[in-house]
Each structure stands twice: as structure tokens, then as C-alpha cells.
Amino acid sequence: SGDNDSVFRIEPETGELKVIGYLDRERETEYYLNVTVYDQGRPQKTQSRLLPVMVLDVNDNAPKFERPLASFRVTENALNGTAIFRLNATDPDVGENANVAYSLVTDTPHFRVDTVTGVLYVTAPLDREKEELYELKIRASDRASDPKDVEA
């Protein structure tokens, strides 16, 4: 039926395996349960098996930026297409739940971010006399069916 520290319980009468604790795939990806069955005969017979239980991922984490606030310099004569910065966000989930997509939240014709790599590019001429400082907001979203995101 299980020990006191287990997150599982086997119903002795039915053999049904139940989760009785909190499962977190980021903490523990698999469990191995030593299951022993026995009959009521005389002499009593037993059989034991190691039962692997794989914990599947759910999208319970949002991506996190390596640096939620960054500053950098770019020259005003930077050519269109010049790569100026690479954002990096990671998600501890797995599969599509961990696959991060980047987007530029700030509405500006001067910059764009590559959705896959997180590289920020110049896309229009920059003029220091017109605008000396640009503040950009970038979103990192996972590609899950119920996406989670973070902005920096």
C-alpha cells in the first residue's frame, strides 16, 4: 500500500495505483516502485516487480530571461540588418513547453527580433539627434498549447 514518504499509494483490494502527493517533473522525472503482490493461500505465494513511473511534463513554467534588464550601445550609422544583441530565455519544461519564441513588444520600425534565435537587429536608420535612447520590451513565450510568457 506504500510507505509514509511515498507520493503513490496502491489500493490493497483493487491494485489501483493512486497519486497521493505532489509530482513535479522538473524535480523528479521518474519513480521506480517496488510492487509486491501476494495471495491468501497456504503457503502464501508472492511476486515482486519494479514498476517504472514516468512523470510527464505540463506547462507549469514560464520562460525566464538570463538578463531581464540589459543595456547596450549601437552606432547611429549601423546598417540595416546589423545584429546588435542576443536575448536568451530558457524554460525548465520540456518539448514544446520549453521551446521559446521571441517577439518585440515595443512598436518601432528601427528594430526587430528573430523569433527563434532572440537576436535583435537594426531595421531602419538610427539618428541620434532625433532619438538618443531606445527602450525596447521583448517577450519570450513558450510554444505550448497554453503558452506562458515573460517580458523584459
Residues 142 and 99 sit within 8 Å (Cβ to Cβ): yes
How much is the pTM?
0.80
The per-residue pLDDT for range 11-39, each reduced to its tens digit, is 988 989 999 999 999 999 999 999 999 89
pLDDT band with cut points at 50, 70 and 90 for residue 6: confident
> Which of 26, 15, 10 shows the shortest CA–CA distance to 91?
26
Superfamily of the domain at 64-151: Cadherins (2.60.40.60)
- The domain ranges of the chain are 8-54, 64-151
62 phi/psi in degrees, rounded to 5: -95, 155
